[in-house]
Structure 1
Amino acid sequence: MRDRKAERHQSTKAEILGVAWEIARAEGLAGLTLRDVAHRVGMRPPSLYSYFASKDAVYDAMFAQGSREFLEWQAKVELTGDTLTDLKLIARYFVDFCTENPTRYQLLFQRTVPGFEPSAESFAVSVEGLEELRRTLAGIGITGPEALDLLTALVTGLTDQQISNDPGGDRWIRLIDQAMEMYFAHVSKRMKAGDEP
């Protein structure tokens, strides 16, 4: 039997999250207020607490939702079997995901909300995304924590520059292939020398 009350509760939570994202995109993550969210979904602010215990709980649900979206996005990457080509694809998919929704990028990959820390449950979804990236890199022959750290530093750096200095443009997006060529040359050299990349 269907639990209609639970379905309505989940539907309202999803509506609240959708509105929270809308406000965060318009006002910035720090500009999100529960009063504004409640007003836009047509309820009194105290009623919102029956869905989310606090503003941090809303941020936490947004973080988990964004992390799940990242996992879904990663699953779309179709690798070719050529390491350099695949690195370019992985980097492009990451930067595209992040620049598609800069607010989501800030919540997932930067510390822009003072005092907010995702719950262990929500953070586990994020860690799953990083582990999937680690497995993908290992599958194309790139291993080691430094190789992963360097790759994430490069792609988030390109993303930061693109979002900050050319929103809606492609100034730093155009550099993805060059950055991956440099990265691949560096990692390949280290691996041939027997060093951890």
Structure 2
Amino acid sequence: MLGEPKRSRIAERREATRREILDAAWAQAREVGIASITLRDIARAVGMQPPSLYTHFDSKNAVYDAMYAEAWAEYEAHALAQLGSVPEEPRAALHLASKVFFDFAVADLARHQLMNQRTIPGFEPSAEAYAPAVRVLDHGIAFLAAHGVTERADFDIWISLLGGLIDQQLANDPGGDRFARLLGRAIDMFADAVGLSPLPEKRPTRQKAGTRK
């Protein structure tokens, strides 16, 4: 019993150090690019000698693995919060889900590259780190199926469409909206192709009696 608080404090300090290391890794990735981070620079940022960092992460790929898991877990929580209540119309629900993913991706180039591109030679996420991404994929497939898009090939087209627009936005107009403005049009084209009903047109506002045009 007397030893438990001590072990807890040690675990808390260790977790706090890991958090500091990961924060430094993300900061460096956003400054120099996700593939260019170094353990030496991360250690320097947290005031640690490089050999000491290996007591927390045994390689740079281990740092990437933790970052990958964190990024997908963050998106999973974000998507569940944003999509907890969706429009009844399938097309409107599809527009919302697309915008949630698009906006999250373009908000952080380094995070997007780690999550969705093979930018880092030799890095493969562990099964544990990959688990949140698998859950997001399964949830996405179920989400589209619940709104009338049941073919896996159609799901693959949808994520490819989103990925292409995201990559174009980040590559050709970072911080702008050139391709973000095309998202709604592209999703409507996809929705037309898979046979989703158009959104109901807004009814014209009636003029009050006696109101002059």
Q: Is the pair's TM-score, using the shorter chain for normalization, greater than 0.5?
A: yes
Partner of 1:193: none
- State the secondary structure of the residue aligned to 1:38: helix
Structure 2: 5+ residue stretches without partners: 197-213
Using the alignment, how far apart are the partners of 2:48 and 2:101 within structure 1? 37
Shift of 1:123: 1.1
User: Any idea what SS the aligned residue of 1:169 has?
Assistant: coil
Percent identity reads 44
For 1:33-88, what per-residue CA distance to the aligned partner results, in whole angstroms no more than 9, with x for missing partners?
A: 00000000011000001100100000000000001011012111231111111111
Which of 134, 159, 162 is the matching residue for 2:166? 159
The question of 1:124 aligning with 2:156 is answered no
Report the aligned-residue RMSD. Answer: 1.0
Q: Which residue of 1 aligns with 2:211?
A: none
Which of 17, 20, 41 does residue 15 from structure 1 map onto?
20
User: Which residue number in structure 2 is paired with residue 183 of structure 1?
Assistant: 190
Paired letter, 1:128: R
Distance in 2 separating the partners of 1:16 and 1:182 = 44
Q: Counterparts in 2 of 1:36-55, with a 5 A limit?
A: 36-55=41-60
Secondary structure of the residue aligned to 2:22 is helix
* Deviation of the 1:30 alpha carbon: 1.7
Q: Distance in 2 between matches of 1:146 and 1:128?
A: 19
Count the aligned residue pairs.
Answer: 189
TM-score, length-scaled by structure 2: 0.86
Instruction: Kindly provide the amino acid, as one letter, of the partner of residue 152 in structure 2.
Output: P
Residue 187 (structure 1) shift? 0.8
Cα displacement (A) at 1:135: 1.3
Q: CA deviation at 1:136?
A: 1.1
Does residue 66 (structure 1) correspond to residue 71 (structure 2)? The answer is: yes
**Distance of 1:86 and 1:175 partners within structure 2:** 17
Distance 1:101 1:28 in 2: 11
Q: String of CA shifts for 1:139-165, please: whole Å, max 9, x gaps.
A: 212112111101100001110000000
- Structure 2 residue matching 1:130: 3-state secondary structure: helix
2:103 to 96, 111, 122: 96
Scaled by the length of structure 1, the TM-score of the pair is 0.93
2:37 is aligned, of 32, 35, 51, to 32
Match of residue 153 from structure 2: 146
Shift of residue 29 of structure 1?
1.2
CA deviation after TM superposition for structure 1 residue 8, in Å:
0.6
Structure with the larger helix share: 1
**Moved >6 Å (runs of 4+):** none
Letter in 1 for 2:90: T
